[in-house]
Amino acid sequence: MRNRFTWNIWLLVIGIYLGFSVWNLGFAYNIYWANLHSHTSLSDGEGMPEEAYIYARDSAQIDILALTDHTHYLTQNAYQYTMFVANQYTVPGQFVAIAGQEFGNLSAFGHFSIFEAESLCPISVYNLVYTYKWMAKHKAYSQFNHPRVGDFDYLVFSREGGKYVSTIEVVNGSGLYTPFYEDLYILALNNGWHVAPVANQDNHHKHWGDATTALGQIPLVGVWADTLTKEKILEAIGNERVYAAEIKPADDKINLRDFSIGNSVMGDFYYTTDRNVTIKLVVDALTNFDKIYLYKNGVIYDSVPSNMMGQDSITWTYSDTITNGYYFVKGIQQDGDRFWTAPIWVNFKSGPTGIEAWPNPIRLNSQIRFPEVTGAISSEMTIYTMEGNEVFKQQVDYPTSHTWDGKDENGKRLDDGIYFVVIKVKTSTETKVFKGKVALLK
Amino acid sequence: MKRIILVSIITCLAISYLQAIYYRIPYFARPAALGEATVSVLGDATGIFTNPASINNKIVSFSLTEWLLDTRAGSCVGSYNVMDYFMIGGGVTYFSYGPMRYFDDEGNPGDYFSADLWQYRISLAKQLYNRISLGIGTKILQQNIETVKETKFLADFGAIYYSKLFDVGASVHDPTEISFDVGISAKPVKDLLLLVAMNYQDKAVMQAGIEYNFKPVSFRIGFNNKRLAGGIGYQQKGFSFDYALTDYGQVGLTHQFSITLK
């Protein structure tokens, strides 16, 4: 009897484990809630860093808090102290405490949040170019805070800045709220920035994580990450896998479950040689949704059909013929709370006009691509040395590409150099021959 | 005499176990048209690519090679008799692989990158007893692909035994892997040259060539690894022009144009 009971317990545990596994297969990322802009008494806020992290974790019950005290208030010791406390309060799986700084001057180019840099940014608050360079040099992910028209040199794209500025506020909970943030998010995207929208509280009082806007909403950032560790969260922020949400009441979280094209999720590039794509959106909350818009290259392109609205869970697929650019989604709940997703950037590539090796130079494995042949039944690829000697041959049925790992027929790795590729594609009526060169490097 | 020949050939074959391959490409028209079976041919510095012992007269030769799939090479060789004691020859070759386009794993194109090869070579040849020529050569290869530069120092050794009836030649090339040539040539009648050779580089490849002189024009045909080659030459006093065409099957045709000043 006891054995049977033990077996049942084991089966239950295995069942739960498998259930979670299957559930996780559907959702590659978990949603963690963050506030990425807040202050303490180390600059012009209230309380100490320990108090802030404890409040965010235990009272506001968010997963991530970034303290971003003003750089010009901080001494190097005070900043190091914040970093020390942040590391102390970061517990993988429970809470991530980020140490940051708010750099800049509103009378100059504006404010940045700079996360987890090793030191305070020493650049002049009037020197935007060197600020971008400093961020890149220190590999510190950064954020456009409460952008105003004209801030950040009108958000003109910077190649150096583009490496590490990854988020821009579309909602700021302080008194600096302006209706132009969304426009400036779009301006940044149109200028070439790869940034994701965030909704932050910019706390100056002791409500780190649950402070509300004038409309009573809690601005929060949804972060898509595998696990709740500092490394994964910073990686998600850096890769623009975040979205902005206004939350009211506190348990009415807007859960963005999916926003993807193919295998590319928000924040990613989607590369394709097929102009027809399907965009997928899955989002749920307690309050029903009123409107959900799909933006394409900065303008409203379409919306979720009205007969699907008025529900608290939306699953929408949308087929489009793409052009290069980006898509993002903005949604509004019936109580007025909004959310904005990060974009998915799409890059249409026409099919190869000749033989292409992806990658070229080849180092390990490579796809050898060739122009599409309608009705292709089979193809044969032959690799030749520079001397014209055959070293490798491969046949593929119903081909779109070949693969080659830089080895000869005997599995021996060939020397670095240039190799000739001849591909013969057969259809029922003809054989097309493509020729090209590829480079092989160790 | 026999002992010298035997020692030379055995030395060549022994050293061959230390040898390696590089791009064995005929940069000059005459060897190309004769199927590269010229390891036993004495007298032309353009043969130093096959056998450093081949240098026997003073020449300067220039060649343009239109190789496969938009690759091409320019080459220059020269040879000089040093106080009737030994021959010295040398050359430089530039091989352009043509523009190559960078692609990443996902097929995103990048900039074009350059890929090319420089070869510098110098050879010494010494004739003994009016029967044998011994040669030694060294070459520096510098290959540049994208940002990767690779430099190799390689060596050649060769010998040619020549007589009224026939000539025999052998050469070994380059360190680390087995690579050698052996061959024989003869003139059964005046103005007709017959050549047979074997090149070993991973596997044995038979080569053969025929040259017929109908002065001032020479007609040539060659076979190399089942590939057919052909060409013509035109000679005036102190000057010759040569052309060769080789069929590399589905990869394409190659052309060599050479001018030699004697």
Give the model confidence (pLDDT) of A373-383 as tens digits: 888 889 999 99
d(CA B198, CA A23): 67
Substitution target in B227, B250, B254 with the highest count of A β-carbons within 10 Å is B250
* Cα maximum dimension of chain A: 79
Burial A49-82 (b: 16+ CB within 10 A, else e): bbebbbbbbeebebbbbbbbbbbebbeeebbebb
3-state secondary structure of B33: helix
CB B101 to CB A416 under 8 A? Answer: no
d(CA A381, CA A259): 39
Closest alpha carbon within chain A to B96: A418
d(CA A103, CA B84): 81
* pLDDT above 80: residue A4: no
Q: What is the mean pLDDT of chain A?
A: 90
Give tens-digit pLDDT for A305-341: 999 998 999 999 999 987 789 999 999 999 999 999 9
pLDDT at B57: 83
Q: What is the mean pLDDT of chain B?
A: 86
3-state secondary structure of B85: coil
Q: Which residues of B touch A420 (CB under 8 A)?
A: 68-69, 251
Substitution target in B23, B102, B103, B108 with the highest count of A β-carbons within 10 Å is B103
* pLDDT above 70: residue A420: yes
Closest alpha carbon within chain A to B21: A415
* pLDDT above 90: residue A21: no
pLDDT at A22: 42
Decide if B201 contacts B24 (C-beta within 8 A): yes
CB A439 to CB B146 under 8 A? Answer: yes
Domains of chain A: 25-250 (3.20.20.140), 356-440 (2.60.40.4070)
CB B145 to CB A388 under 8 A? Answer: no
CA atoms A183, A184, A189, A191: torsion sign: positive
Q: Which residues of B touch A387 (CB under 8 A)?
A: 23-25
Decide if B245 contacts B231 (C-beta within 8 A): yes
Shortest alpha-carbon distance between residue A415 and chain B (Å): 9
Give tens-digit pLDDT for A237-247: 999 999 999 99
CB B250 to CB A388 under 8 A? Answer: no
CB A388 to CB B68 under 8 A? Answer: yes
Integer-rounded Cα Rg, in Å, for chain A is: 26
pLDDT at A225: 96
pLDDT at A69: 97
* DSSP state at residue B215: T
* pLDDT above 50: residue A271: yes
* DSSP state at residue B19: B
Report percent pLDDT > 70 for chain A: 92
Query: Which of A79, A81, A120, A82 lies closest to A103, judged by CA?
Result: A120
| Cα distance from N-terminal residue to C-terminal residue, chain A | 63
CB A349 to CB B23 under 8 A? Answer: no
Shortest alpha-carbon distance between residue B162 and chain A (Å): 30
Give tens-digit pLDDT for A342-390: 999 998 776 777 899 999 999 888 999 888 888 888 999 999 999 899 9
CB A360 to CB B225 under 8 A? Answer: no
Q: Which residues of A touch B (CB under 8 A)?
A: 271, 273, 347, 349, 356-361, 367, 369, 382, 384-389, 415-418, 420, 422, 424, 433, 435-439, 441
d(CA B139, CA A138): 47
Decide if B138 contacts B156 (C-beta within 8 A): yes
Q: Which residues of B touch A415 (CB under 8 A)?
A: 21
CB A360 to CB B71 under 8 A? Answer: no
pLDDT at A11: 59
d(CA B100, CA B146): 9
pLDDT at A160: 87
User: Of A358, A389, A415, which has the smallest distance from its Cβ to B103's Cβ?
Assistant: A358
Query: Which of A244, A175, A253, A254 lies closest to A212, judged by CA?
Result: A175
Q: Which residues of A touch B225 (CB under 8 A)?
A: 389
Among A29-38, A419-428, B39-48, B138-147, which stretch is predicted with the lowest mean pLDDT? B39-48
Shortest alpha-carbon distance between residue A227 and chain B (Å): 27
User: Of B21, B68, B103, which has the smallest distance from its Cβ to A360's Cβ?
Assistant: B103
pTM above 0.90, yes or no: no
Q: Count of A–B CB contacts within 8 Å?
A: 92
pLDDT at B16: 36
Phi, psi for A318 (deg, rounded to 5): -135, 125
For A390, the token pair is 């055959």
Decide if B55 contacts B45 (C-beta within 8 A): yes
Residue with tokens 């119903």: A398
Count Cα atoms within 13 angstroms, Cβ side, for A29: 24
CB A441 to CB B146 under 8 A? Answer: yes
Decide if A62 contacts A97 (C-beta within 8 A): no
Burial A280-301 (b: 16+ CB within 10 A, else e): ebbbebeeebbebbbbbebeee
Per-residue pLDDT of chain B (262 residues), as tens digits, is 455 544 454 444 434 333 333 677 889 999 999 999 999 988 777 777 888 898 888 889 999 999 999 899 999 999 998 888 889 999 999 999 998 889 888 777 888 898 999 999 999 999 888 889 999 999 898 999 988 888 888 888 999 998 888 999 999 876 556 788 999 999 999 899 999 999 988 789 999 999 999 989 999 999 998 899 999 999 998 899 999 999 999 999 999 999 999 8
Output the domain CATH number for residue B245.
2.40.160.60
Query: Which of A86, A186, A272, B43 lies closest to A78, judged by CA?
Result: A86
d(CA B120, CA B140): 5
- Most confident region among A44-58, A398-412, B79-93 by mean pLDDT: A44-58
Shortest alpha-carbon distance between residue A373 and chain B (Å): 19
Mean pLDDT over residues A185-211, rounded? Answer: 96
Decide if B194 contacts B215 (C-beta within 8 A): no
User: Of B107, B248, B251, which has the smallest distance from its Cβ to A271's Cβ?
Assistant: B107
Query: Which of A102, A163, A158, A99 lies closest to A136, judged by CA?
Result: A163
Phi, psi for B188 (deg, rounded to 5): -65, -30
Range of the domain at B79: 2-261
d(CA A231, CA A219): 23
Q: Which residues of B touch A (CB under 8 A)?
A: 21, 23-25, 67-71, 97-98, 100-109, 113, 115, 143, 145-146, 148, 150, 225, 227, 248-252
pLDDT at A396: 86
Q: Is the ipTM of this complex over 0.85?
A: yes
What is the pairing mode between strands A325-333 and A378-384? unpaired
Query: Which of A92, A26, A63 lies closest to A265, judged by CA?
Result: A26
Count of domains in chain B? 1
Query: Which of A42, A34, A24 lies closest to A63, judged by CA?
Result: A34
3-state secondary structure of B238: coil
Query: Which of B181, B172, B213, B217 lies closest to B194, judged by CA?
Result: B213
Decide if A114 contacts A131 (C-beta within 8 A): no
Among A72-86, A160-174, A184-198, A394-408, which stretch is predicted with the lowest mean pLDDT? A394-408
For A194, the token pair is 């790869």
pLDDT at A163: 86
Neighbours of B18 (CB within 10 A): 13
